[in-house]
């Protein structure tokens, strides 16, 4: 609300001040006009600085920029850890969701719901403990190299009779953000782009830990299934 009213209030203030100066007389305006404009400009700057503290809250946080190298390294490292079954070494920041299910049947069917088919890694445990552990991991969401990973909505796991449903399109979330970029007059000399950088995002990766003798029946379109310890 404040963010909407402030520009209007400043414009009205400027109109009133300029009108008052003009009414003082043509001679005064000719001599002092530039001087008054400078004072008005400085006043607006101070008002903006003071108002910023009330406008910027928890929902308007300044975020740090992550280097492209770090973004790529995170994705590569996560891939290595999951493909080799080293899930226990993965930092909690990469974990989107963890669900556990009691299951004592001989086979399990995987069903994927959503517009995209996630990669699935399956680890068979050393014993038949009657438990299925389902994890969803992500290497992050970056817009112009700014980390928005906390905005990702995790897939949903649901066990129905003899099938485990993985809903990778449970919901969509709108992200509203304001970003500052250098003007073209600057970027034409520095060589950097004046537009948004590409969005860096990979679909969440699913990691399943299943009992030793449980067999998996996957759908025909589940192309990205890999066992990590066979």
Measured distance CA(34)–CA(31) in Å, rounded: 8
Angstrom CA distances, 143 to 13, 50, 206, stand at 37, 29, 23
- Which tokens in the block code for residue 17? 């001040």
Phi, psi at 226, each rounded to 5°: -145, 135
Per-residue pLDDT 10s for the chain (230 aa) are 444 455 556 666 666 666 666 556 554 445 455 666 666 766 676 666 666 555 555 455 556 788 888 888 999 999 999 999 999 999 998 999 999 999 999 999 988 887 777 889 999 999 999 999 999 999 988 888 888 888 888 889 999 999 999 987 655 566 666 655 555 544 555 555 545 567 888 788 999 999 999 998 875 555 688 899 76
């Amino acid at each position: 609300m404040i963010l909407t009213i402030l520009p209007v209030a400043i414009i009205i203030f400027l109109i009133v001040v300029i009108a008052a100066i003009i009414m003082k007389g043509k001679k005064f305006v000719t001599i002092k006009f530039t001087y008054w404009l400078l004072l008005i400009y400085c006043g607006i700057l101070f008002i903006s600085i003071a108002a910023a503290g009330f406008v910027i809250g928890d929902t308007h946080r300044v975020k740090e920029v992550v280097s492209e190298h770090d973004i790529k390294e995170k994705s590569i490292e996560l891939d290595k850890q999951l493909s080799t079954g080293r899930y226990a070494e993965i930092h909690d920041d990469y974990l989107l969701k963890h669900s556990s299910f009691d299951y004592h049947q001989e086979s399990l069917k995987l069903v994927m719901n959503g517009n995209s088919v996630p990669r699935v890694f399956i680890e068979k445990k050393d014993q038949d403990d009657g438990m299925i552990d389902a994890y969803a991991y992500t290497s992050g969401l970056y817009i112009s190299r700014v980390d928005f990973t906390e905005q990702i909505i995790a897939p949903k796991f649901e066990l129905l009779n003899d099938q485990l449903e993985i809903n990778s399109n449970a919901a969509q979330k709108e992200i509203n953000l304001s970003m500052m970029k250098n003007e073209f007059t600057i970027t034409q000399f520095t060589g950097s782009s004046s537009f948004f950088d590409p969005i860096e995002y990979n679909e969440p990766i699913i990691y399943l830990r299943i009992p030793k003798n449980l067999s998996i029946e996957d759908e025909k379109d589940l192309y990205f299934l890999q066992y990590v310890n066979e």
